Amino acid sequence: GAVVSQHPSRVICKSGTSVKIECRSLDFQATTMFWYRQFPKQSLMLMATSNEGSKATYEQGVEKDKFLINHASLTLSTLTVTSAHPEDSSFYICSARDAGTTGNTIYFGEGSWLTVV
Amino acid sequence: QQQVKQSPQSLIVQKGGIPIINCAYENTAFDYFPWYQQFPGKGPALLIAIRPDVSEKKEGRFTISFNKSAKQFSLHIMDSQPGDSATYFCAAKSGGYQKVTFGTGTKLQVIP
């Protein structure tokens, strides 16, 4: 089946630094990818929609200058958390839709744990 | 505004029982309703999905019941097993938009 890979799965960074998380669709092309954030015991909250070759669309309340999204190719989107602070510590999950189909199936990555110390 | 409401927040059943998780939505533009299963520290995995033109869908031990007029849908897990212990999220999506709106999640524990 279709696979979405995230890297790194876990990362610890110091407060004030930036960290990049990659989301790759391994066996399909994705014109659109989505980035979610999930706090412990809570639901997934959509942060932004990443569009290949154009600017990302951010949800209300999400700082676009803090959470930089780049969708450089049909198989790769990156989320960069800039000037990270402890409150940015969370589980970040990406998802992608197979552009080659007309179906509704959206595949999720395994998530990336970010801890800011 | 929470567009997909999910209940209960947590659920404990014995092995072999039939846990039922309920969801309700408001946006009539939603036309695709997936359920996701998430284990701790992992991303959500698609379990089963339904479109509003059918009232029920079964896949293995998992069944979705859908009531379009009431704008409600539910997940039933038959013959539940300890390995089914996870958090379950209902979700909804409209055809014109690819983003998925998630429910609040239900933590299911199946005890032996």
- Which residues in chain B have Cβ-Cβ distances shorter than 8 Å to A26? none
Min Cα distance B65 → chain A (Å) is 19
Considering only CB atoms, which residues of chain A are within 8 Å of chain B?
Answer: 4, 6, 32, 34, 41-44, 46, 49, 91, 93, 95, 97, 104-111, 113
The token pair at B10 is: 């947590």
- Option in A41, A91, A104 nearest B93 (CB): A104
Handedness of CA A4, B5, B57, B33 (dihedral sign): negative
Residue A24, pLDDT score = 95
Nearest CA in chain B to A113: B41
Locus of tokens 């698609």: B46
Single-letter code of the amino acid located at A12: I
Residue A101, pLDDT score = 65
Question: What backbone phi and psi angles, to 5 degrees, belong to B50?
Answer: -140, 150
Percent of chain A whose pLDDT exceeds 70:
93
- Which residues in chain A have Cβ-Cβ distances shorter than 8 Å to B92? none
Predicted confidence (pLDDT) per residue in A21-76, tens digit: 999 999 888 888 999 999 988 899 999 998 888 889 999 999 999 999 999 888 99
